Amino acid sequence: MKEKIKLKIGEFSKLNQITVKTLRYYEEIGLLIPSEIDDWSGYRYYNVDQMQRMNQIIYLKSLGFSLEEIKTMFDHQCYTPTTEMISEKIKKCRLDMNALKKREIELKSLHKQLKNKTNMENFTIKSLPAVIVASHRQIISSYQELFNLCPNVLGPEMARLGCECVEPGYCFTIDHNKEYREADIDIEYCEAVVAQKQDSELIQFKELPIVEQALCFQHYGPYQKFPESWAKIYAFLEENGYQIIDFPRFCYIDGIWNKEDENEWLTEIQVPIKK
């Protein structure tokens, strides 16, 4: 009868490129128990068959199976996953890839923001001239509704009324809500025009007085990131002793209408202020 090869834990560790600490943990959880433990010395020995078991553990881990899942398989004398288990791992891979793709996009956006930090965090205090605006105030279901309302409803109505927009163009929204709302949003759309026309059910004309001082901040990126810009704006206001005296204006310069990448959207937030 051939003598069985016995491998000390250090040898087994080296051959399988697994740390002794990991092997001891596998023993602790019952995943890979030494074939023999010397009662007197406490030395642990592994046999050749356990090398194959170790290789299978390494392989299954590389496929994304947890130690708990691997142990359950081994406890049921099953050393390869079922097709159902593999399908679940494929599904998880797809979810992980989508999450990593989103993370990549976010990291690229952050990288771009940091490269353009000087421009992005450039606060400007300027006056906003008096303007005549074509105004429409409405309760909308969501901010997404603006993407249809402005070009497809208000635009044609302004054209019907014979409106001539100023050059360069100046349009903005004013959020009249006193708190954040996901629906039933009270918002006013204003676009600067050369002269007043006859009011209609959709459009009312009015003259907005000069704003002596407005803190202007250029927000790059999607609108759901406005809170990040507001944090910077309020820090500036606090540091420099300014107070907000009227509703901020959101002046949309670049957006979904001319930029496919939402990270390239540009909104100037104009905040009327005083010392």
pLDDT per residue of the chain (275 residues) written in tens, 0 to 9: 667 888 899 989 998 888 999 999 999 999 999 999 988 888 999 998 899 999 999 999 999 999 999 999 999 888 888 899 999 999 999 998 988 888 888 888 777 766 655 444 578 999 999 999 999 999 998 877 888 888 889 999 999 999 999 988 899 999 998 877 778 889 999 999 999 999 999 999 999 999 999 999 999 888 888 888 899 899 989 989 999 999 999 998 888 878 888 888 899 999 999 98
Question: What pLDDT shows up at residue 121?
Answer: 56
Residue 30's pLDDT is: 94
Given this model, what pLDDT does residue 196 score? 94
pLDDT at 197: 94
Residue 138 to residues 134, 200, 247, 259: CA-CA distances in angstroms?
13, 14, 16, 26
* Burial label, 71 (beta-carbon count in 10 A; 0-12, 13-18, 19+): middle
* Token reading at 244: 């907000």
Domain residue limits, the chain: 7-81, 84-115, 119-274
Instruction: Report yes or no on whether pTM surpasses 0.85.
Output: no
Q: Can you give the pLDDT at residue 22?
A: 93
pLDDT reported for residue 174: 93
d(CA 27, CA 10): 14
Determine the topology of domain 119-274 in CATH. Answer: Multidrug-efflux Transporter 1 Regulator Bmrr; Chain A (3.20.80)
Residue 90 has what pLDDT? 92
Domain 7-81 class in CATH: mainly alpha
DSSP-assigned states of every residue in 8-62: EHHHHHHHHT--HHHHHHHHHTTSS--SEE-TTT--EEE-HHHHHHHHHHHHHHH
Which residue in 134, 273, 155 sits closest to 207, CA to CA? 134
Q: Which helix (H) or strand (E) holds 243?
A: strand 243-244
Q: Return the pLDDT at 114.
A: 66
End-to-end CA distance of the chain: 97
Q: Do domains 7-81 and 119-274 have the same CATH topology?
A: no
pLDDT at position 144 is 78
